[in-house]
Structure 1
């Protein structure tokens, strides 16, 4: 039997250090940078890097392949990158690969608040989707039948919890939905408040949310910008993931923007002028896919 006391993070192997965070500490209270835009980078799956005006970087939901070694979802390992803060919304393999990146601070399933430099992160505890009857494979029902995992709240296992993450930066409130259920109770909606940028799971297989559920969440939050994630990319995700591109849903919403790269600048002035405008990365990611595949 595997000795779990010997498992752990791999930070002791990382050659990077805290120097960038120390510099940000020293600049606390200094004048703001020359710009106030936020850079949003997409890494496939549900993984986003947010770069604040101060230069602080946050990576949410880095992915990995299933630990049981069968039916891989990704064609290769998550790219080796360094960030200041790594975060995860919930304990599923396609969201919890925080050990694979070099990060000064790890906020795994944050509940409560974290503040540093010009960023404040708030984690709100709720529940993962447990009804997938809208998906062709009904993976939640298969999980219940084939494993001991309890998926239905309130007595679900931890992997069917989810933490909604709100990132406040440059006057914007960015919400990463993770794989949250579409119908949280009223007190959760009140805690979420006004959202400027909504990172919402939408894919052609309707794996997490159905199209109707995604529309309902978008309408309820009335976000200015909506960014799909958790979808299939032909040269990042495998067929075995069952995920499909989000094109049908994206193209069905008026004025949708398809980015030209894996990075998109969120200018607060532009964002505040939008209303339920979709920005989609499509197959673009913020790393060199060919470079990883050739390693």
Structure 2
């Protein structure tokens, strides 16, 4: 019998259309730790961390190393860069004094990461929640978008053009009082038209008193939903023809 994580990874690859010909040469691995914290590892070995959390209820992992850390905004459940070892460079999507977006376009090994300005609310950043950066990671022909704590009910044409084609969408779905909820996330998914969606930033057993909602509001009425483990290996050459939603476990 295969170990649990390996079995889940194999299952996902087969479901996404990978067969015996699946080539590790174009594989990208996503590891999920909960909330909005992901580690992306490219075929060339580049390690990219997005939005590591502080002490918010999820287990704090030890020994996570990276080449670069990207922070979408300066809230404690997204900006714990000190958690990450390996001499990682830290790139912050916004500054808070004065409040402004940083323009980021960085090569990290064989990957390119760039930012797109957005708002943490639906009032143009005036509600007190401020600004947010979207990040796009390009690697091995795969384009992954991490939306941070997006609060806009819809993306603008300018933002959609800046994002470009997105294959894998990491989108918050937990709703008020922090970010978009199921209805808004559904609308934005339709705007972006990704092949794969990974929901994030929603209520879980690790944070049962968190005031946001769970993932069910986003999943309701949608097909192609799979619940998988904490890690998934993806390839541009084996993306599904029809959109699929991967609900990832967290450590």
How would you bin the TM-score normalised by the shorter chain? 0.7 to 0.9
Q: Cα distance 1:212–1:244, how it changes in 2: closer, same or farther (>3 A)?
A: closer
Please, which of 7, 26, 38 is the counterpart of residue 36 of structure 1? 26
For 1:1-295, list aligned pairs within 5 A.
Answer: 35-65=25-55, 73-74=56-57, 76-102=59-85, 103-109=87-93, 111-130=103-122, 152-153=123-124, 155=126, 160-180=130-150, 181-203=152-174, 208-234=179-205, 236-237=206-207, 239-250=208-219, 252-259=221-228, 261-271=229-239, 273-281=240-248, 284-285=249-250, 287=251
Matched residue pairs, number? 219
Which has more radius of gyration?
1
Q: Deviations 1:134-183 (Å, cap 9, x if unpaired)?
A: xxxxxxxxxxxxxxxxxx435566x5101110000010110001112232
How far the C-alpha of 1:99 sits from its partner, in A, is: 1.8
Alignment check: 8 A CA contact 1:204 1:247 kept: no
Taking structure 1 as the reference length, the TM-score comes to 0.68
Give the whole-Å Cα distance in 2 for the aligned partners of 1:156 and 1:96. 20
Taking structure 2 as the reference length, the TM-score comes to 0.79
Give the whole-Å Cα distance in 2 for the aligned partners of 1:50 and 1:42. 9
**Secondary structure class of the residue paired with 1:167:** strand
Alignment check: 8 A CA contact 2:73 2:132 kept: yes
**Secondary structure class of the residue paired with 2:136:** strand
Q: Cα distance 1:216–1:75, how it changes in 2: closer, same or farther (>3 A)?
A: closer
Alignment check: 8 A CA contact 2:68 2:108 kept: no
**Secondary structure class of the residue paired with 1:59:** strand
Q: Deviations 1:113-153 (Å, cap 9, x if unpaired)?
A: 001321000111121124xxxxxxxxxxxxxxxxxxxxx43
Give the whole-Å Cα distance in 1 for the aligned partners of 2:183 and 2:127. 25
How far the C-alpha of 1:55 sits from its partner, in A, is: 0.9
Q: Cα distance 1:74–1:154, how it changes in 2: closer, same or farther (>3 A)?
A: closer
Q: Which has the higher strand share?
A: 2
Q: Cα distance 1:275–1:111, how it changes in 2: closer, same or farther (>3 A)?
A: farther
Q: Cα distance 1:115–1:165, how it changes in 2: closer, same or farther (>3 A)?
A: same
Structure 2 unaligned residues grouped into runs of 5+: 1-22, 94-101
- The alignment yields a C-alpha RMSD, in angstroms, of 2.3
Give the whole-Å Cα distance in 1 for the aligned partners of 2:58 and 2:163. 35
Q: Deviations 1:78-134 (Å, cap 9, x if unpaired)?
A: 54421111111111111111122114211121523001321000111121124xxxx
**Matched residue, 2:3:** none
Q: Which has the higher helix share?
A: 1
